[in-house]
Amino acid sequence: MNHELVNPVPIKHKFFTPGVIALVIIALNGLVFLMGRFFFGLGAVTNLNNQYPWGLWIGVDVAAGVALAAGGFTTAALGHVMHREEYHAIVRPALLTAMLGYTFVAMGVFVDIGRWYFIWHPLVMWNGNSALFEVGICVMIYMSVLYIEFLPIVTERFIGKVNLPGFLSSLNKLVDKILRLLDRGLSKTMFVFIIAGVVLSTLHQSSLGTLMVIAGPKMHPLWQTPVLPLLFLLSAISVGLPMVIFESLIASRSLKLKPEMHILSRLGSMIAPILGIYLAFKIGDMFIRETFVYLGEFNTASVMFTIEILFGVVIPLRMFLSPKVLKSPPLLFTASALVVFGVLLNRINNFVVAYTPPYSTESYFPSFGEISVTVGFAAMLVLAYRFIVLNFPVISLPGKHTAQPTKYSIRGVEK
């Protein structure tokens, strides 16, 4: 029997499960330390000091968060710019992941800066010579673009279903009319925001690498290179599709849905060439600068670099070249998870492991409070994702092909 994807629909599934309750506890633990940071300062919760002004929150919450949210612009480019219609089913979930990812990136910056109440300064105090200013402005604009791209999902959910309670019911027709007007306007202009999102992503993904180029000799030679902006961009592109597969397979298992392997396998077949290009630039740069000599030293830097390349690039590259892996959900998930792990470790290596202040007297290791906030943010992101897919038309479900796909129920059977 031939099946195809119907229109995206809210998923009918209970919100609370034992796993969700565990995530709620983790999130609450993070919020406790987060409140401690705001009430008592960075020093009360973190191991940051004048020698190490940034740590886990910048390396993971911001730098890694931006990279792992790259699935938004890669799938937008694939589905809309390149007009690959068969991939439209994964665009909305990837958009949601990117939107939530960038939201928590902004929260990470807000939490990390010393005077958090001055976070608005870049909006009015421009410095065109600053790489960090370019990153901040691009992230703010791109996050706004992501929310605009998500608006059609909101209008689709509520058009014809506005039912305000009590005395507000008199506004039902007006709100519905506004939603329809907004939907029509967005349908005519959405291509502008999609193109803007792709362009903005390439800008700030590379500029994050520029920040560490400026660090100069403070960084270990295994990572310090003039082509770091290019490597950051290539690594973000290479993790975009694996992150979509990773998120899709987890969501399918959590929500008791059948994974769309015919789509995910095609995505997996595209990953090996992209990883190959990234690996070629990475190894080529290392040989041109002759920094491979540092791999002969047995220390934290050499071990972390080896793990990053071997488990984050080489092994998943080989796995994505195998037809057996592309057809197996567990193996495809493992390969994608390794790429996600590799890019996560790359950002930690660049911003934390490789960075050594010139007059440091001790090494940095994140405190329990820093780890709690980071893990809490991740738990809140998953909870937000679950709430949205249960209440908004994000995920497409397989069902029988009919002339009127909008008559399908949530289970894919025509009513």
pTM, to two decimals:
0.87
Rounded to whole angstroms, how far apart are CA atoms 9 and 251?
Answer: 14
Q: Where are the alpha helices (DSSP H) in 159-227?
A: 172-214
Rounded to whole angstroms, how far apart are CA atoms 261 and 244?
Answer: 12
For 71, 82, 187, the CA distances from 7, given in Å and listed in that order, are: 21, 21, 16
- State the amino acid at position 185 in one-letter form: G
Per-residue pLDDT tens listing for the chain (415 residues): 344 555 788 888 889 999 999 999 999 999 999 999 999 988 899 998 888 888 899 889 888 988 888 877 778 777 666 666 677 778 888 889 999 999 999 999 899 988 888 888 888 888 878 888 888 888 888 888 889 989 999 998 888 888 888 888 888 889 889 989 998 888 888 888 888 888 888 788 888 888 888 888 889 999 999 999 999 999 999 998 999 999 999 998 988 888 888 889 999 999 999 999 999 999 999 999 999 999 988 899 999 999 999 999 999 999 999 999 999 999 999 999 999 999 999 999 999 999 888 877 788 899 999 999 999 999 999 999 999 999 999 988 765 343 333 333 333 333 3
Architecture of domain 13-357+368-394: Up-down Bundle (1.20)
Measured in whole angstroms, how far is the alpha carbon of residue 200 from the centre of its chain? 15
CB-based contacts of 130: which residues, under 8 Å, 6+ apart?
none
Q: In degrees rounded to 5, what are phi and psi of residue 256?
A: 60, 45
Contact of 179 with 162, CB cutoff 8 Å? yes
Name the strand (E) or helix (H) holding 73.
helix 71-76
For 103, 144, 175, the CA distances from 152, given in Å and listed in that order, are: 19, 14, 15
SS3 164: coil
Rounded to whole angstroms, how far apart are CA atoms 153 and 322?
Answer: 36
DSSP letter for 350, please: I
- What are the tokens at 320? 């994505």
Beta partners for 398? Answer: 5
Measured in whole angstroms, how far is the alpha carbon of residue 325 from the centre of its chain? 24
